[in-house]
């Protein structure tokens, strides 16, 4: 396959990016890939960490902050393990679980870029059992709301929530009886 830019050399870099379901493929020779910024590393840094760091630069979150705050954050240190933000950027790894809280303001922009804007994992539910799982999740959420309404002494609204919980429980019971026959 020929380079899509110069059409002179064989394509050596094949880059595929999928964003919001739209697939974009780029096929370039080494020289054109370097010129276009697809190869921002040297032969001595061909590790997976360097590759991912170039694809998802940590500095983007830093660049959106005032300079004084950036300088202060460069010396931000995790109290659990002593890891600084600069060390985290260099290694690409945390030293302990407390690092997630310490460097939280930097993580969400990274996660958004990596996961197409999503920062919360919701998973998938199989269709054949999804109905009951959705109802059970709704019941759990309604129980939390009910508890808050009781604490706030909003008993009228709490009664409506209680009735909704009973209705959902009855629907689950009826579908279980129907499935056993």
Interior angle at CA 161, CA 160 and CA 165, nearest 5: 120
Question: pLDDT band at residue 73, thresholds of 50, 70 and 90?
Answer: very low
Cut 0.75: pTM above it: no
What is the predicted pLDDT for the residue at 144?
Answer: 94
**What band does 148 get if pLDDT is binned at 50, 70 and 90?**
very high
Nearest CA among 24, 100, 109 for reference residue 62: 109
100-144: per-residue pLDDT in tens? 888 888 877 777 777 777 777 777 766 666 667 788 889 999 999
Q: How confident is the model at residue 49 (pLDDT cuts 50, 70, 90)?
A: low
128 or 35, greater pLDDT? 35
Burial of 120 (0-12, 13-18, 19+ CB in 10 A): exposed
Of 106, 61, 101, which Cα lies nearest the Cα of 81? 101
Q: Give the highest mean pLDDT range of 79-88, 126-135, 162-171.
A: 162-171
């Amino acid at each position: 396959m020929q380079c899509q830019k110069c059409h002179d050399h064989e394509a050596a870099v094949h880059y595929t990016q999928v964003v919001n379901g739209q697939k974009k493929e780029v096929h370039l020779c080494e020289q054109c890939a370097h010129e276009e910024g697809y190869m921002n590393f040297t032969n001595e840094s061909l590790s997976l960490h360097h590759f991912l760091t170039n694809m998802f630069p940590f500095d983007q979150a830093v660049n959106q902050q005032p300079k004084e705050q950036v300088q202060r954050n460069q010396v931000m240190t995790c109290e659990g393990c002593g890891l600084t933000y600069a060390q985290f950027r260099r290694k690409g790894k945390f030293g302990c679980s407390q690092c997630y809280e310490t460097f939280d303001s930097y993580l969400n922009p990274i996660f958004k870029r990596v996961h197409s804007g999503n920062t919360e994992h919701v998973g998938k539910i199989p269709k054949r059992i999804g109905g009951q799982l959705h109802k059970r999740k709704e019941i759990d959420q309604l129980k939390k709301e009910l508890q808050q309404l009781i604490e706030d002494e909003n008993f009228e609204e709490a009664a409506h929530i209680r009735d909704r919980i009973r209705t959902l429980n009855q629907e689950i019971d009826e579908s279980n009886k129907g499935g056993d026959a």
